[in-house]
Amino acid sequence: MGERKVLNKYIPADFDPKLVPRGKKPVDGLIPVRMMLPFSIQCSTCSTFLYRGRKFNSKKEAVKGVDGKYLGIQRYRFYIKCGGCSRPLTFLTDPKNADYEMESGGTRNYEVWHDERKTNEQFEKDAEEDEKIDSMKALENRVLESQREMAELDALEEIRAMNARHVKMMGKRGGGEMDTAQAVLNAREAHLGLDQDDADEELNENGLTNDEEELVKSIKFGRAAQQSLQEQTTVIHRLDEKDEILAEKKRREEAEALMNKRKSEEAKSKPSIPGIIVKKRRKRNDREEEAKRTKTLEENNQPTAASATATSGVKPAGALSGLLGYGSSDSD
């Protein structure tokens, strides 16, 4: 393929450019152009999507009429065909918005960045309406705006101080540059309506203030720095397993000593009282209730036992017979 890409062609000595036939212009004024779609399109007939970046053999023509130019910039119209139904689609260049404009045959897909300006305008309009309705909202917006302005002024002051320092350093080093830089700075401050800060500290030959010079002198380097570090700071050793075991043993001993001390203090503070066993005594009411129960049982059982002996003539066995016999012996 390398032999096809020839940059220089042989031109014979007897070549006459007037004999070369001129190219014919198209009759309808359409110029064939190989191009890619600048945005995604949906066909209105078959609803096929033609995505951005797809290549087409299009035809281009200049737009005529009132809308043919914008501020002297020529607008162009492009013709392509749908890949599904071969319907012609046309779109125009839009130099006003640095974009393209869909004309016929389809619809352009929605793009967020395309409507950025409209959304910003709508947002500002809604904010103004909210401020008119809600006074507290307007107050909050004003406070935020003032905070933003204060931050910008602080940043501006910082830049001004830095520029002043640079100007002073330039003036110390070179004589001619001082006047030019100072004149530029004074003109800028006069234009902005700012007063020059008289409280700025003067810089020495090294371009530092007195405080900065003292700070630099207080810094020690080399052996002096090592000696100062050894005097001020203590050496920190890294703990190993033996150190951890000793520390754990020491902690346990301290805990045991503390527990023994607490026990001894509790024993001293607690009075010695001999142990007394207290038996629970029965109440008198309980004994009286038991006696009543036994008496009622005896009264209920006595007539039944007497009737049984009278009918059968046999003495009852068991505890009742003993009780009946005991009563009969007493009566005798």
pLDDT exceeds 90 at position 92? yes
Greatest Cα pair distance, the chain, in angstroms, is 185
Q: State the Cα angle at 237 between 235 and 242, rounded to 5°.
A: 150
pLDDT exceeds 80 at position 176? no
Instruction: Map residue 192 onto helix, strand or coil.
Output: helix
Six-digit token string for 185? 């700075």
Query: Can you list the positions of beta strands (E) in 198-319?
Result: none
Judge contact between 302 and 321, C-beta under 8 A: no
pLDDT exceeds 50 at position 186? yes
Judge contact between 92 and 77, C-beta under 8 A: yes
Question: What are the tens digits of pLDDT across the range 95-147?
Answer: 988 889 999 989 998 887 777 777 888 888 888 888 888 888 888 888 888 89
Six-digit token string for 183? 């004149």
Q: Tell me which residue of 247, 267, 248, 249 sits closest to 259, measured CA to CA.
A: 267
Q: What is the mean pLDDT of residues 61-69?
A: 88
Contacts of 288 (CB under 8 A, 6+ apart): none
Task: Give the pLDDT confidence score for residue 93 in this predicted structure.
Answer: 93
Q: Which helix (H) or strand (E) covers residue 107, if one does? A: strand 106-108
Q: How far is residue 246's CA from residue 255's CA, in Å, rounded to a whole number?
A: 14
pLDDT band at 330 (very low <50, low <70, confident <90, very high): very low
Instruction: Map residue 321 onto helix, strand or coil.
Output: helix
Q: How many helices (H) and strands (E) does the chain have?
A: 8, 10
Question: What are the tens digits of pLDDT across the range 132-145?
Answer: 888 888 888 888 88
Q: How far is residue 258's CA from residue 254's CA, in Å, rounded to a whole number?
A: 6
Task: Give the pLDDT confidence score for residue 166 in this predicted structure.
Answer: 78
Q: What is the mean pLDDT of residues 150-159?
A: 90
Judge contact between 293 and 299, C-beta under 8 A: no
Q: What percent of the chain has pLDDT over 90?
A: 15
Q: How far is residue 261's CA from residue 220's CA, in Å, rounded to a whole number?
A: 52
Query: Can you list the positions of beta strands (E) in 88-235?
Result: 88-94, 99-104, 106-108
Task: Give the pLDDT confidence score for residue 29 in this predicted structure.
Answer: 77
Instruction: Map residue 151 onto helix, strand or coil.
Output: helix
Question: What are the tens digits of pLDDT across the range 210-262?
Answer: 777 787 777 766 666 666 666 655 555 566 788 888 888 998 999 999 889 88
Average pLDDT over the chain, rounded to whole?
A: 76
Judge contact between 51 and 40, C-beta under 8 A: yes
Task: Give the pLDDT confidence score for residue 331 in this predicted structure.
Answer: 44
The residue assigned the tokens 């359409």 is: 30
Contacts of 253 (CB under 8 A, 6+ apart): none
Q: State the Cα angle at 29 between 27 and 34, rounded to 5°.
A: 115
pLDDT exceeds 70 at position 273? no
Task: Give the pLDDT confidence score for residue 253 in this predicted structure.
Answer: 92
Contacts of the segment 176-182: beta carbons below 8 A, 24+ positions apart:
none
Task: Give the pLDDT confidence score for residue 80 in this predicted structure.
Answer: 92
Please tell me which of 155-164, 194-203, 228-237, 296-305 the model is most confident about, judged by mean pLDDT: 155-164
Judge contact between 59 and 30, C-beta under 8 A: yes
Q: Which helix (H) or strand (E) covers residue 293, if one does? A: helix 284-312
DSSP, res 92: E
pTM of the model: 0.36
Q: How far is residue 39's CA from residue 114's CA, in Å, rounded to a whole number?
A: 11
pLDDT exceeds 70 at position 274? no
Task: Give the pLDDT confidence score for residue 282 in this predicted structure.
Answer: 54
Q: How far is residue 113's CA from residue 237's CA, in Å, rounded to a whole number?
A: 62
User: Regarding predicted confidence, which is higher, 237 or 300?
Assistant: 300
Contacts of 209 (CB under 8 A, 6+ apart): 201, 202, 203
Judge contact between 110 and 49, C-beta under 8 A: no
User: Regarding predicted confidence, which is higher, 76 or 195?
Assistant: 76
pLDDT band at 293 (very low <50, low <70, confident <90, very high): confident
